[in-house]
Each structure stands twice: as C-alpha cells, then as structure tokens.
Amino acid sequence: MKAQRLLLLAFTIWILVAGINAFAQQAVTFPSGGETANGFLYLPQGSGPHPAVIVIQEYWGVNDWIKQEAAGFSSKGYVALAVDLYRGKIADTPDMAHELMRGLPQDQGVRDLAAGYTFLSARKDVKHDRIGAVGWCMGGGYAAQLAIAEPSLRAVAINYGALPTDKDALAKINAAVMGNFGGQDRGISPESVQAFATSMKSLGKPVDAKIYPDAGHAFENPGNKTGYRPEDAKDALWRIDRFFAANLQR
C-alpha cells in the first residue's frame, strides 16, 4: 500500500511538472521576409518588462535539450525565444543533422533570427534594449552572425561556434561578446579563438573568450556521450549567467 501511494505521488508530481512545462512553452510564429518563421517562447514570472534571450539550436535542431536551456533562461527572469531554424525538423542521427545544416542557407538562418529579434523587441513584456543571444555549435556561429546583422543586440554568448574573421564584419558588432570553447575541439581551434579575441580587442570591442584545455566540441551538451564534461559545462553556464546578468539585467 505504501509503495502504491508513493507511486501515485510520483505520478501526480510528474503530471504537474509536465503541465507547467506545457503551459510555459508557447509555439509562436513571426514574419521573416516573405516567409513565416517559428519558434518556442518561454515566459518568466511577472508582467515585466523583462530582458530577453534568443536561444539558438545546435545542428540537431530545437530538440529537448535546447528547449530545456530556453526554459532555464526563463526561470532566471528572461523572456526566452528558441527560434526553430529547421522549421519543425529535428535530427536523430549525425548524418541527418549534417544534411539539415547543409540544407539551411545562412542568409535564411540569419534572417529568421533577426525576425525573432524584431518579434521580441515589439513585445510589451520585453525590454527592447536588453535583448541578447546564445548559441551552441552551429547556433554559436549563428549567434555571431546575428550580432553582425543586428546592431541593437546587447549581448552574445558563443559556445564552440564558428567565428567570423573579417574585420569589416566584426566592426559592425555592438554587442558585448563572450565565448566558451574546447581546447581539444578539432573544428574550432584555440588559435582561431585567440585570433578572434585579438581582432575584437583591436577594434575596441568587449570580448571574453575562455578555452577549456581538456574539452572537445559540444562539451556542454549532456547528450554528447563521449565528450560531455559536467564540470566544464557547469562553469560555462555560470559564465553565461554572469555575463547576461551584467549586460541584460543591470
């Protein structure tokens, strides 16, 4: 009997949590050029206005982990928008993820993210001058491109994403920039990170890039069974939280 009561209690708690998550997550659409983009919106408690964060997917798509990260930012007081760059598609194998990433024109991805920025800035519950972006892997690269395309973006967190090198493009960035990178990443080398930071600083742009010596690519994602590094991931999230608090909440 006791076991049955405990099972019933656990099931009830699961239903309540699932209900809260389902209520907190809102599917939204917004115009992007002549097309319609979509995403998932997560609202913090209170009427606001609140700072906001655009959450940008890895090459897998807007899967459960990206939604979890977006929900986490909303629990910290941000209106969070996970823009669905694949428009409903989610990869479940690396081959499919590569195919979806290659099939996404960069100008369309940047346009959808800029449209997400416009969507957020028009909301009454958002502080339009306190909007940032965060991305991982493919999304980290798109976060950097959004900073170039949207001069009013306030803060950008790049996690092991491709970094722009053209100084004319970097000169367009007005956002504060921080990044978390793996020293063992075979795609985003420590040398490219250091070159990016040097170029940004030479332009008088605020940048904070940290390299985790023993980490490889995607070290923050718990779904990365061979490369997830919980302590480094915890530190990276702490850095992101501190960075957004300083640039978006104050």
**Domain with 35 in it:** 26-249
Residue 91: inside a domain: yes
Q: Is the pLDDT of residue 21 over 60?
A: no
Q: What is the mean pLDDT of the chain?
A: 92
pLDDT of residue 248: 98
Percentage of the chain modeled with pLDDT above 90: 88
Contacts of 155 (CB under 8 A, 6+ apart): 132, 133, 175, 176, 177, 178, 243, 244, 247, 248
Does residue 108 contact residue 36 with C-beta atoms inside 8 Å? no
Is 139 strand, coil or helix?
helix
pLDDT the model gives residue 113: 98
How far, in Å, CA of 126 to CA of 133, rounded?
A: 14
Residue 141 lies in a domain: yes
Query: Of 123, 169, 130, which is closest to residue 152 (Cα–Cα)?
Result: 130
pLDDT, average across residues 13-42? 75
Is residue 10 pLDDT above 80, yes or no?
no
Domain assignment present for 30 = yes
Indicate the pairing of strand 25-32 with strand 207-212.
Answer: unpaired
Predicted local confidence at residue 13, as pLDDT? 37
Q: Where do the H-state alpha helices sit in the chain?
A: 2-24, 64-75, 94-102, 106-121, 138-149, 167-170, 190-202, 230-244
Per-residue CA distances from 12 to 7, 19, 23, 24, 208 (Å): 9, 11, 16, 18, 44
Provide the 10 A C-beta neighbour count for residue 80. 29
In a domain, 20, yes or no: no
Residues 6+ apart with CB under 8 A from 244: 51, 53, 73, 78, 132, 134, 155, 157
DSSP 156: E
Cα separation of 220 and 237, whole Å? 8
pLDDT for 19: 39
Instruction: Say whether pTM exceeds 0.95.
Output: no
Q: How many domains does the chain divide into?
A: 1
Q: Is 120 helix (H, G, I), strand (E, B) or coil?
A: helix
In this prediction, residue 48 has a pLDDT band, given cuts at 50, 70 and 90, of confident
Over residues 53-79, the pLDDT tens digits come to: 999 999 999 999 999 999 999 999 999
**Three-state SS at 204:** coil
pLDDT at 129 over 80: yes
Residue 207 pLDDT greater than 90, yes or no: yes
pLDDT in tens, 190-204: 999 999 999 999 999
DSSP one-letter code for 1:
-
Strand partners, 39: 28, 83
Task: Quote the pLDDT of residue 47.
Answer: 85
Residue pLDDT, tens place only, 134-189: 999 999 999 999 999 999 999 999 999 999 999 999 999 999 999 999 999 999 99
pLDDT greater than 70 at residue 8: no
Residue 98 lies in a domain: yes
Q: What is the pLDDT of residue 211?
A: 98
Q: Is residue 188 part of a domain?
A: yes
- In the sheet with 126-136, reading across from the earlier edge strand, the strands are 25-32, 35-42, 79-83, 50-56, 126-136, 155-159, 176-182, 207-212
Q: What is the CATH number of the domain that holds 78?
A: 3.40.50.1820
User: Is 187 among the domain residues?
Assistant: yes
Residue 4 lies in a domain: no
